[in-house]
Structure 1
């Protein structure tokens, strides 16, 4: 789960995991929560994240804590500059799934950086070949995420509007192509789910 998207209780549960050996957890928690303000500041950056479906099932802390984390993700999808896609279990695995990375692309391309986040610290990559490789891996992740299928990697983006409706659109189509209620979306997915052959 990207640090920018983590609810405070979820982050605290991770930092308190005894086997991970985090030190100065209060300071680390404060830093991570303050860093999230970048998403709601004036002129925020555009953030596009691909989260593996496993992260939505892996539990840190209580059931209530995980519920708050999932609600946090839904809340973030309401921000026009934030896109969240899910890499499903059913998609073909590839090398980009071997670990977390952040590809930072500022206005000045020479300042682009890839950040590899690890329990013991972060590693920063800036060589042109490294940036190109991670850019390609992210694009592959994006194509295979969130209801994608077919050789062209068609995707459907899903977001919750301020009025509570669910809005769906194709990844390359700026307009909403379907607006429905959460119950309507659940019924649609149930209808589309493959049925076992008799």
Structure 2
């Protein structure tokens, strides 16, 4: 399996998940320019990461890739212990990060997509900060008394960790969210997380 990733993008979460499988894989770290080159557009016409190749099979979209990694390497239990309940719980929290948290950053990463009027952008950013604070408060409550977002280590955890790195970069107020802070520290002490960050030049 080969992963195409861009340092610090959501694809880094897939990189961590692959590290957690303990199985061999290839990784190609992409630049913004390489993602728009014909060679990569043949893999993903959207010119975005993540993307994986597994033999002749090509897959894009983060949530789908996480599911594929979990199904390909079930011993890693990235979707739980195999029970429908744990699988659904892992998927629920992956969906929370993928569908709620990640899109909430878009007004900060690309405010022009929401308004071309520069005078609107401060209000957009303020609203995004409030929305993100509320979402991270939900994650903090979920982590109370737990080591992992789903209650067991799953593919939701690397994705949540990457959004916490984004929150640092965007100066999102996470003060008082002690369970999230402890989670971030645990992730940064994890050997698989460190290996992925080092391979992408982030450590």
- TM-score normalised to the size of structure 2? 0.27
Instruction: Choose 1 or 2 for highest CA Rg.
Output: 1
Between 1 and 2, higher relative CO (CA 8 Å, sep ≥ 6) is seen in 2
- TM-score normalised to the size of structure 1? 0.27
Compare the two structures and name the one with the higher helix fraction: 2
